[in-house]
Structure 1
Amino acid sequence: MTGGQRRVLVVEDELTIAESVAARLRAEGFLVELAHDGPSGVAAARANEPDLVVLDVMLPGFDGLEVCRRIQAHRPVPVLMLTARGDETDLLVGLAVGADDYLTKPFSIRELAARVHALLRRVERAARPRTDERIELADLEIDLAERRVHRAGVEAHLTPTEYELLVHLAERPRAVQPRERLLSEVWGWHDSTGARTVDSHIKALRRKLGADLIRTVHGVGYALEVPR
C-alpha cells in the first residue's frame, strides 16, 4: 500500500473492459495495475503484492483458474473472478482454487466497485482479533484466533469467504439463516441478487467439510447441523 491506498491488480485481456474497470477503481481511490494474460498476471501479483485481484477466467497464456492457483500458492490474496460462462462447475472450481467472489459478464462497473469494497471490508473484519478462541461442535473445530478449521481431526483449507460463512453458521447451530441475511452479514450486500453466490459457497463448504454438515431449507436458506 502507498499512502494508505489499496492496490488492485486487474487481469483482463479485453482492453475495453480492463480500462473501464481501472478507471472506475481509480476514481474510487484505488491504485490500479493492469495485466492482460495469465503469465503477466502472475508476475504482477508477485512483484506488486496487491490487496485484491480482479481476475478474468478466460485469458491468453493460461486461464484465470491457473492464475488464481499460482497467486494463492505464493501469497494469499482476495480474488474477484470475472466469468463470461456462468457455468456453475467453473464457479465452483474458481472457489476451490482460492477465489472469494465472482461476477458473471456482462456486469455493471458500479456493481464491480461495490463488490471490491465489500470484499475488502470482509478481509478487514476477518483480521480483527476475536475475544473468544474456538467453536467446538462434535467433530467440527474452528480455531478463531488462528482461523483454522478441522473436522474429525483433518484440517480443511478454506478461502476467507468460506471461513466467514462457516463461522456465521456455526455461531448459530441449527438456526436457519436466510440467504438474504447471509448476503448482508457475510458479504455486506443489501439486496438478494447474489443468492447464487451463497449457494456456490455452501457447495464448496460441503465438498471440503462433508455434505452432512449444512442443511438446505428450500426456499429459505441454510442451517449448520451439529455433527454426530
Structure 2
Amino acid sequence: MNKDTVLIVDDEWNMRQLLKIHLSPHFHIKQAGSGKEALSCLEREEVDLIILDIMMPEMNGWEVCEKVRARSEVPILMLTARGDVKDKVQGLSIGADDYLVKPYIPEELVARSKALIRRSLQSSSGNTEEETIEISDLKVNRSERQIFVDDSEVEVTPKEFDLLELLALNPKTIFTRDMLLDQIWGINGIRDIRTIDTHVKNLREKIRKKGLSFNPIRTVWGRGYKFQAPDENE
C-alpha cells in the first residue's frame, strides 16, 4: 500500500530531520528549506499534506499558506513555536487546516496529520460517512444527533454528542485534551482541559445508566482519550 506524501517546510535542518523521524514510519516524506523551495516543489509534484513552519526568512509560513491556498486545497498543518490564540486565528483564517505548537507530542502530530489527510480524501471523493454508527448495542444517529443504547435514547448535551461522535468516527486515534478542545469547542472556545474530563465523566455515566454493554471511551493515561470497542474492554 502506497504511503501518503507529506511535505515538511521548515528552514531549520534539525527540525526537518526530527519531523521526518516521527512521520516517516507513516508517510512518504519530502522536504523544503524555504517557502520558495516549497512552492517550487508543489509545482512539480502532488502531496497529500503540508506541514508548515511560520517563522522563516524571506517568505514566512503565512505567506506560503496564502500562495498555496490560492491554487490548491491540499491540507496545511501549521507547526510553530508561536502559541498565541491570535496567531492561530490568523493561520486558520488564511486557509490553514490545523495548528500545532512546538514542542509537540509526536503521537499527536501523527494523529492530526492522518486526520487531515483522511478528511481531505473524503471531501475530494464526495464520500460521506455513514449516517448511523452502530457498534454492538450503541447507536449514534448523526443526522438526528441522537445516541441510543438498544432502543433507549440517551439524553446528552450537544457537546457530549460531538465528543462521542468524534471518537466513534476515529476509533484508532488517541485524542489529547487540546485536540478535543480544538475540534469540539473551536480555536476561540473554552481552553480549560478540565472541561473535557467533565464531559467524558458525564457521558460515561449517562451511557452506563442505560445499560450499555461496554465502556466506549478509554482513558489513555498521560495522553488523552480514544474510542474503545466492545472487544477492547478490559
TM bucket, shorter chain: 0.5 to 0.7
Q: Following TM superposition, by how much is the alpha carbon of 1:103 offset from its aligned partner in structure 2, in angstroms?
A: 0.8
Say yes or no: does 1:57 pair with 2:85. Answer: no
Residue deviations 1:61-102, cap 9 Å, x none? Answer: 111111111111111100111121101111011111111111
Return 5+ residue gaps in structure 1 as ranges.
133-167, 204-218, 221-228
Say yes or no: does 1:122 pair with 2:119. Answer: yes
CA distance in 1, matches of 2:83, 2:11: 18
Partner of 1:7: 5
Q: 1:171 to 1:86 in 2, by over 3 A?
A: farther
Q: What SS class does the counterpart of residue 75 from structure 1 fall into?
A: coil
Q: 1:43 to 1:72 in 2, by over 3 A?
A: same
Residue deviations 1:13-69, cap 9 Å, x none? Answer: 1211111111332222x2211111122122222321211000011111111111111
Q: Report the RMSD for the aligned CA atoms in angstroms.
A: 3.2
Question: Contact between 1:122 and 1:186, CA under 8 Å: does it hold in 2?
Answer: no
**Percent sequence identity over matched residues?**
32
Q: What SS class does the counterpart of residue 57 from structure 2 fall into?
A: coil
Partner of 1:19: 17
Partner of 1:91: 88
Partner of 1:165: none
CA distance in 2, matches of 1:77, 1:39: 17
Equivalent runs, 1:92-171 vs 2, <5 Å = 92-126=89-123, 127-130=125-128
* TM-score for the superposition, normalised by structure 2: 0.60
Q: What SS class does the counterpart of residue 178 from structure 2 fall into?
A: coil
Aligned residues: 168
Return 5+ residue gaps in structure 2 as ranges.
131-140, 147-156, 190-197, 200-234
Q: What SS class does the counterpart of residue 177 from structure 1 fall into?
A: helix
Counterpart selection for 2:167 from 163, 180, 184: 184
Question: Which protein has the larger Cα radius of gyration, Structure 1 or Structure 2?
Answer: 2
Q: What SS class does the counterpart of residue 70 from structure 2 fall into?
A: helix
* TM-score for the superposition, normalised by structure 1: 0.62
Q: What SS class does the counterpart of residue 127 from structure 2 fall into?
A: coil
